[in-house]
Structure 1
Amino acid sequence: MSNPLAISAVSAAFLRRILSAANAAVPNAKVRLGAPTAKLAEDAAPLVNLHLYRVEPNAAHANDHLPTRGAAGQMRGPSKLALNLHYVMSFYGNHDAFEPDLMLGEVMLALEHEPLLSKTTIRDAIDDNEELEDSDLEAALARLRVTRQLMTIDDFSKIWSIFYQVPYALSLSYEVSHLVIETSDTPPVPTPVVHPGLWVSPISTLRLDTAGSAPGSIIPPVWGGALHVSGRGLAEPGLGLEVDGDGLVMGGVKQSETALTVPLNAATFAGAELAVGVHRLQALAPKFSPDQPDHLRARSNALAFAISPAIVVGAITAPPGGSTATGTVDIGFTPSIRSYQAVRLLLDARNPAAPAQVILPGRDPAEGGPDAASLTFSFTNLRRANYLVRADVDGLLSPVALDSTAGSPTYGQIIGPELSL
């Protein structure tokens, strides 16, 4: 790898190789670096013009280096570029004395005989140009190879069309590859290894397919219920589970080869209470030794599941009388509502003859406030009736209660939660 001066150093070294070959064919021939000009043809002096007209990534080595940035954007190492340099070489001189032809033949033969830019040539070129004294190209590990490009008349026509009002001269095209340049940034010192060790784990067969309130279901469960997980390879002793990166207490978890039943309670979650919302579940293969770190254990795919809010209708405060009521209603929530969550109360009148849907706004997350196991909702001029109640917490609805009493006239129908005015 080299610093950015390497591109100029390659041009200088290439020019030096051409000069020695051109002088072997035509004494006192000169070389020039830059785009061809009309004056070169007018002067007819023996000269070889070298012009870098294209730079492209080297496809074979573009991804040789490791990622230079971590997931958080921190630098892991210097940024690198693997490049191919494309040059057009044009020959000028007295055509009656065959000077362009003689120089072309000698240069082609010299580059065919020794198609590499040697470290000596590079060092001499750097020494001859004080602008390049800080170049470290000669220390590069990759050898620079010079390869003649097969160009058609159409290719040369396109190249020379970019040189405005410059007549065509006898030309060749060469590629120099591959050049690697890098930044001079020094990456931070990585964290040292504290506990060296070697752990070997077989390929994991763990897989999680669904998670919900019932086997095979994806309907969100409520806190205090159970999370039913389906998958594969779930019966192994020593299996671990993580939710949002935190390990679960496996004592109450029921296991089989294709299913898990996870109690949604504080005992399973080491005293914590999951919030209403979406969570991430992952299974960990058993440890092969007691000291194997968790982050080296084989893992399943990550599976998302949601927790819905469970509600209890509490005290209703409203003056009696009249066809409408104005007051408040207390709603208890399990789990507690977090300060960042938006809450609405949805009311649906149960009278089919006079249907009505009402939305009561709750606490706005912008208002802040502590976590709350109960919220008070206000209503104004609400028609007196019996209402089915559901809570909407960040888009997740509280479940309804179904009549499961066989023989009941409302068997299988929604019977609650209910608010009566």
Structure 2
Amino acid sequence: MSNPLAISTVSAAFLRRILSAANAAVPNAKVRLGAPTAKLAEDAAPLVNLHLYRVEPNAAHANDHLPTRGATGQMRGPSKLALNLHYVMSFYGNHDAFEPDLMLGEVMLALEHEPLLSKTTIHNAIEDNDELEDSDLEAALARLRVTRQLMTIDDFSKIWSIFYQVPYVLSLSYEVSHVVIETSATPPVPTPVAHPGLWVSPVSTLRLDAAGRAPGSIIPPVWGGILHVAGRGLAKPGLELEVDGGGLAMSGVRQSEAALAVTLDAPTFGGVELAVGVHRLQAIAPRTSADQPDHVRARSNALAFALSPAIVVGTITAPAGGTTATGTVDIGFTPSIRSDQAVRLLLDVRNPAAPAQVILAGRIPVEGGANAASLTFSFVSLPRGDYLVRADVDGLLSPVTLDSTAGSSTYGQIIGPELSL
């Protein structure tokens, strides 16, 4: 494993190998790094141009290392990349003296005879370039192999098409594999295991598929209501649930094989009121023995569910008379609204012939303020009539009330909450 300077070091070491072979064929020949240019062909000086044109993952070693982070996100080890470097090699010189051909033959033979970048070559490349003095490629365990790529004329045509207005010259393509680079971050040293143990768990399905409203209902879960959970393997005795990392009292949960009904109240949540917003739900498999630690118990996938606000229309303060009203309305919220939550009140006109909506702004979110079980909203010159009332808390809307009285003329229709002026 090496630091990111390994890629540059490979190019420098490859250059040295080519330089010695090219000089054996044509004295004073040079090697250049970089994309080929039109001027190189015009100069016709003996030269081999080496260009790194593609980098791709090494398929054989891409997954050699273990996961670099644990389930909690803590780093377990450095991140590593196994790469293959693809080079295009082009030959320039006096064609009358066969210089490009001579250099090509000598370079191909040298790389065929010794298809490796030796540690000596890498060491000398680092010594020759001050920019590479911090490279540790020389100490890498992996041997760097140089392999000629079989390229058709169509392949070379595609490669040279990326060099704008550069004429094609005699070329070869080589791959250097495999170059492994890694981050320099140092993972924490784990503490020793005080009491080794072995726990065996049965292979069974524990899965959560959905969490939210009741099947077929349009009413979202609210505090004081029921959270409906669908999944598999949920009827096991000893099953536990976590919401946002905290355990629930299973006495408030009705279990069946494919569904759970979680009572959203303080006793179920250990005396804590869950806030309006998005929460994380996860199921934990029963213990296989009384001494089995929590961290080795099987867990389901995690699901997100949204807890919507429930509201009650309170006191309305507005002078009587006139076609419009100016005043305030108190709205009670369950659960309480946190100080950092944005709140709006949506008033929908109940007249189907003239639908309209009025939005009343609540308080501005403030960090570190007090929670509020009730908020007062002001309205100015609001046309008198009946309004459907909904609250918007951080994008989550309070549910409406449906008429559930059988035989009622409005059965199944929205009947509230209402504000009458």
TM-score, normalising length: structure 1? 0.74
**What CA distance in whole angstroms lies between the structure 1 residues aligned with 2:413 and 2:161?**
84
1:77 is matched with 78
For the residue of structure 2 that corresponds to 1:5, the secondary structure is helix
**What CA distance in whole angstroms lies between the structure 2 residues aligned with 1:334 and 1:231?**
28
1:173 is matched with 172
| Structure-2 change in CA distance of 1:333 and 1:11 (3 Å) | same
Offset, 1:270: 1.2
| Structure-2 change in CA distance of 1:417 and 1:37 (3 Å) | closer
1:9-61 superposed Cα distances (whole Å, 9 cap, x missing partner): 231134335556x4xxx9xx4542227565656xxxxx7x4321334214435
Contact 2:220 2:399 in 1 (8 A): no
Offset, 1:277: 2.9
1:33 is matched with 31
Q: Structure 1 stretch 312-321 or stretch 271-280: which is displaced more?
A: 312-321
Contact 2:21 2:106 in 1 (8 A): no
Task: Give the counterpart letter for 1:7 in structure 2.
Answer: S
1:335 is matched with 335
2:223 is matched with 223
**What CA distance in whole angstroms lies between the structure 2 residues aligned with 1:57 and 1:295?**
40
Task: Choose from 184, 187, 211 the match for 1:186.
Answer: 184
**What CA distance in whole angstroms lies between the structure 1 residues aligned with 2:164 and 2:406?**
93
Task: Choose from 15, 32, 41 the match for 1:11.
Answer: 15
State how many pairs are aligned.
403
**What CA distance in whole angstroms lies between the structure 1 residues aligned with 2:401 and 2:43?**
94
1:105-129 superposed Cα distances (whole Å, 9 cap, x missing partner): 5654454343334445555x44984
1:317 is matched with 317
Task: Give the counterpart letter for 1:392 in structure 2.
Answer: D
Contact 1:216 1:230 in 2 (8 A): no
1:113-162 superposed Cα distances (whole Å, 9 cap, x missing partner): 43334445555x44984757766544333323333444556777876996
Structure 2, unpaired ranges of 5+: none
Contact 2:78 2:187 in 1 (8 A): no
* 1:156-171 alignment runs, 5 A limit: 171=170
| Structure-2 change in CA distance of 1:164 and 1:419 (3 Å) | closer
1:272-325 superposed Cα distances (whole Å, 9 cap, x missing partner): 112223333222222334455545433333333332322223233334555554
For the residue of structure 2 that corresponds to 1:365, the secondary structure is coil
Offset, 1:420: 4.5
**What CA distance in whole angstroms lies between the structure 1 residues aligned with 2:62 and 2:222?**
48
For the residue of structure 2 that corresponds to 1:311, the secondary structure is strand
Contact 1:400 1:417 in 2 (8 A): yes
* 1:267-416 alignment runs, 5 A limit: 267-290=267-290, 292-320=292-320, 324-347=324-347, 359=358, 361-366=360-365, 369-382=369-382, 385=385, 387-406=387-406, 412=412, 414-416=414-416
**What CA distance in whole angstroms lies between the structure 2 residues aligned with 1:229 and 1:217?**
14
1:56-95 superposed Cα distances (whole Å, 9 cap, x missing partner): 2144358356587999898953665624252536486896
**What CA distance in whole angstroms lies between the structure 2 residues aligned with 1:160 and 1:312?**
70
For the residue of structure 2 that corresponds to 1:10, the secondary structure is helix
**What CA distance in whole angstroms lies between the structure 2 residues aligned with 1:366 and 1:105?**
75
Q: Does 1:253 align with 2:257?
A: no
Q: Higher Cα Rg: structure 1 or 2?
A: 1
* 1:55-70 alignment runs, 5 A limit: 55-61=53-59, 63-64=62-63
| Structure-2 change in CA distance of 1:298 and 1:320 (3 Å) | same
**What CA distance in whole angstroms lies between the structure 2 residues aligned with 1:351 and 1:161?**
67
Percent of aligned pairs with the same amino acid: 59
Contact 1:235 1:256 in 2 (8 A): yes
| Structure-2 change in CA distance of 1:356 and 1:328 (3 Å) | farther
1:86 is matched with 87
| Structure-2 change in CA distance of 1:37 and 1:279 (3 Å) | same
**What CA distance in whole angstroms lies between the structure 2 residues aligned with 1:288 and 1:204?**
13
Task: Give the counterpart letter for 2:78 in structure 1.
Answer: G
| Structure-2 change in CA distance of 1:84 and 1:251 (3 Å) | same
Offset, 1:263: 0.7
Offset, 1:220: 0.7
Task: Give the counterpart letter for 2:221 in structure 1.
Answer: P
Contact 1:233 1:258 in 2 (8 A): yes
| Structure-2 change in CA distance of 1:110 and 1:302 (3 Å) | closer
1:235 is matched with 235
